[in-house]
A and B are shown apart, each in its own frame.
Chain A
Amino acid sequence: MKGMTIIVKTISSWVKVLIFIFGIYIILFGHLTPGGGFAGGVILASSYVLLMLAFGSDFVQKDLPLALDSKLDCLGAFAFIMIAILPCVFGGAFFANFLVDRYGQPFELLSAGTIPLSNIAIGLKVGASLFLVIFSLAVCRKGAELDDE
């Protein structure tokens, strides 16, 4: 994949930043407004997919290498498991919300205990894994073309 014309490249390099910021907003405000980790993670993945469609897969691999992407995936899963296990250490049940009264009031950004942390972990995991599979589809098609030649 060589990428598209310069008009598409310029516009998508601007729009990508806006989509990325919107995804972060959706994840961080997931406990106050509609949204959450699932939708925000897919939006983060779609910003990099837009970059990949416009510039080609080689450019994206410089920006976000495949090894770093799978590390982010595993980091999200590990963070979610740690959020589940930590209450057991402090004398609660598995997945107990042990931070709920420690900080913040309702309707503030920093509130609701472990729910924003879980949102961040889930968003990281979903976005990294979905971008990983779409990147593999693109690279696979490129490899098939090379084999045909």
Chain B
Amino acid sequence: MTIFYILLIFIVIASLIAVETTDLLSAVICVGAMGFGVSLLFLFLRAPDIAITQIVVEILGLIILIRATISRDLTFISGDKEFFATIVSVAIVFVIFLAGLRVFETLPEFGTPVFAERPDTASQTYIREGLAKTGAANVVASVILDYRAYDTLGEATVLFTSIIGATVILRRSAKRTIDTLRPVSPS
């Protein structure tokens, strides 16, 4: 597990560089490095489904981010807000971090699943009866498409809505229609 901790520290360093660098393209590339590190961590945590999805999603997200930043003139605007607001924000974030550390002391040790302690919990039932009830060897597929298919339906709805929002915001022809309609409306 030494490599696991090294990767975790690498991810934290990459995100720190992404936050603090002044060049936007470097920040985007550092976020990409962080995403690939996270997908490797999912492999170490025995989650191959999520590793595949994360690595492909990270590639498409990098394409979107680079498209947004690559040919803009002002790529190096950085810097913080006013001094007082920055100090207050950092203090609040630090307090949140300390409170979170206190919460994590109450959790069980890393390496013991939180939701699967007793034999009659939902996770144990899924693993034990997933193949017999649904016929799928991959337990994650049987959970997302059979036991909890409502989640997937909601996910499809959210994805549909966000994509429609993005295409409507990016469309050009609608603006021209409003411009041509404008002289008609006052009369």
A and B touching (C-beta < 8 Å)?
yes
Instruction: Produce 1/0 per residue, A108-129, CB < 8 A to B.
Output: 0001111100110010011001
Indicate if B56 sits at the interface (CB-CB under 8 A). yes
- Asked if A43 contacts B56 (CB within 8 A), the reply is yes
Residues of B near A122 (CB, < 8 A) are 145, 152, 156
Indicate if B91 sits at the interface (CB-CB under 8 A). no
A14-B59 Cα distance, complex, nearest whole Å:
19
- Asked if A36 contacts B149 (CB within 8 A), the reply is no
Indicate if B138 sits at the interface (CB-CB under 8 A). yes
- Asked if A34 contacts B138 (CB within 8 A), the reply is yes
Residues of A near B49 (CB, < 8 A) are 34-36, 39
A130-B49 Cα distance, complex, nearest whole Å:
19
A35-B59 Cα distance, complex, nearest whole Å:
16
A110-B56 Cα distance, complex, nearest whole Å:
26
- Asked if A133 contacts B149 (CB within 8 A), the reply is no
Indicate if A71 sits at the interface (CB-CB under 8 A). no
Choose, from B30-38, B74-82, B106-114, B163-171, the stretch at the interface: B163-171
Residues of B near A129 (CB, < 8 A) are 159-160, 163
- Asked if B141 contacts A141 (CB within 8 A), the reply is no
Interchain CB contact (< 8 A) of A95 among B150, B160, B166: B150
Indicate if A82 sits at the interface (CB-CB under 8 A). no
Task: Give the interface of A toward B (CB within 8 A).
Answer: 26, 30-39, 42-43, 45-46, 49, 53, 73, 77, 80-81, 84, 95, 97, 100, 104, 106-107, 111-115, 118-119, 122, 125-126, 129-130, 132-134, 136-141, 143
Additional A-B contact list (7), CB under 8 Å, known A100-B135, A134-B67, A140-B172: A36-B49, A73-B163, A80-B152, A97-B133, A115-B134, A122-B152, A140-B170
Jot down 8 A-B pairs with beta carbons below 8 A, ordered by A: A32-B137, A33-B138, A34-B140, A42-B53, A95-B146, A112-B135, A119-B145, A136-B171
Chain A to chain B: the 7 pairs with minimum beta-carbon distance, closest first:
A34-B48, A112-B135, A31-B136, A112-B136, A95-B149, A140-B170, A39-B53
